[in-house]
Amino acid sequence: MKPDQMFDVRGKGCIVTGGANGIGLAFAEVMGENGARVTIIDRNEEALEATVSRLTSLGYDVRGVAIDITDKPAVHKAFDETTDFYGKLDVAFLNAGINSGPGFITRNISGAPRERPPERALENFDDARWEELIGMTLTSVFTTLKASARNMKRQNSGKIIVTTSVAAHVNIATGQVPYAVAKAGVLHLVKHAAIELAAYGIHVNAIAPGSTKTNSGNGFFNNPANAAAVENSKNMSLLRRQAEPSELAPVMLLLSSDASSYMTGSEVLVDGGFLLAPRLAM
């Protein structure tokens, strides 16, 4: 079979959460460019409108739905309406989430010594922040998995792709400690869903990015004031740089197409060798 046949996604009805920018946008772009029909869900209405406008101007079949991913009734309604709109839900890319911010030790920036600020200690970690992170990053995946499964089981087919993270496999004391907990939970959800849904012809896989240039953490990596932290992040991978979101697009296309017909329950690392690179955890 030729590559254009193996990776063919023309006409597929797709949905992506957190798709107005970053990794979700990379999915919308690669799928739209290759002839799929894409519904982008995002809570940032302004960014969503701009993204949909730009992609439709390129000739892509893209529409937007502005909802908060933690609003469960709205999520189910959006997934049901998208399935009805396309006649079938072929691909669901469950990507929405937030970053947890700093860990219990400060980063070593510009030679400054590392410290343990009291407010970052486990016993002092803000409960509201914990609940927000778990809701946005873990519970939202559970909700969207439910919405995807309900629609795909009726058609006995479908591809579900979930964004996990290298943080699911390692904790870095300078950041991502509660985020790692949430992403580890997401990874186990992927594996459970793959086991349960295989009998219905539904494939469930994950993409685990390493450090990627996105607006996560309120644009932390795009802020010139954080240049030292960005440089530190680059040095934590074997390739000594961050990924562009577009570098994940080939894997997205793989997991959305028949090229992954014998893949389910898999997590594909796109981390520049992050998990192999030596690092100081403390």
- pLDDT tens digit sequence for 23-60: 999 999 999 999 999 999 999 999 999 999 999 999 99
pLDDT(209) > 80: yes
Structure tokens of 82? 């998208």
In a domain, 244, yes or no: yes
Indicate the average pLDDT of the chain: 89
Residue 116 has pLDDT above 90, yes or no: no
Residue 282 belongs to some domain of the structure:
no
Q: Is residue 281 part of a domain?
A: no
Distance CA 274, CA 173 (A): 16
- Compute the distance between CA of residue 51 and CA of residue 40 in angstroms, rounded to an integer: 9
- The CATH number assigned to the domain holding 237 equals 3.40.50.720
Which tokens go with 254? 């793989």
b/e map 200-232, b = 16+ CB within 10 Å: eebbbbbbbbbbbbbbbbeebbeeeebeebbeb
> How many percent of the chain have pLDDT more than 90?
65
The answer to which of 66-75, 223-232, 260-269 has the lowest mean pLDDT is 223-232
* DSSP state at residue 124: G
In a domain, 118, yes or no: yes
Residues pairing with 65 in the sheet:
41
Range in 1-10, 105-114, 175-184 with the lowest mean pLDDT: 105-114
Question: What pLDDT, on a 0 to 100 scale, did the predictor assign at position 18?
Answer: 95
Q: Are strands 91-94 and 61-66 parallel, antiparallel or unpaired?
A: unpaired
* Residue 12 placed within a domain: yes
- The beta-strand segments (E) located in 218-273 are 267-270
What is the tally of structural domains in the chain? Answer: 1
Binning the chain into helix, strand and coil, the percentages to the nearest 5 are 50, 15, 35
Is residue 236 in some structural domain?
Answer: yes
Q: What is the DSSP letter of 244?
A: P
Across-strand partners of 159? 91, 203
Give the type of residue at 88.
K
The answer to the question of residue 217 being in a domain is: yes
Location of structure tokens 């793989």: 254
Q: Domain range holding 221?
A: 3-276
- Residue 4, pLDDT above cutoff 90: no
pLDDT of residue 235: 72
Answer positive or negative: Cα dihedral of 125, 131, 136, 138: positive
Q: Is 179 in the active site? A: yes
Q: Among positive and negative, which fits the CA dihedral 163, 195, 151, 158?
A: positive
Bridge partners, residue 172, by sequence: 175
| CB neighbour list of residue 274: distance below 8 Å, 6 or more residues apart | 166, 210, 211, 236, 237, 238
Alpha carbons 253 and 30: distance in angstroms, whole number: 7
Catalytic residue among 60, 86, 179, 200: 179
Most confident of 108-122, 139-153, 233-247: 139-153
Greater model confidence, 248 or 130: 248
Q: 147 pLDDT band (50/70/90 cuts)?
A: very high
Pick the most confident of 105-114, 194-203, 213-222.
194-203
13 pLDDT more than 80: yes
Residues 123-136 as b/e (b if ≥16 CB within 10 A, e otherwise) read eeeeeeeeeebbbb
Residue 121, strand partner residues: none
State yes or no: pLDDT of 89 exceeds 50. Answer: yes
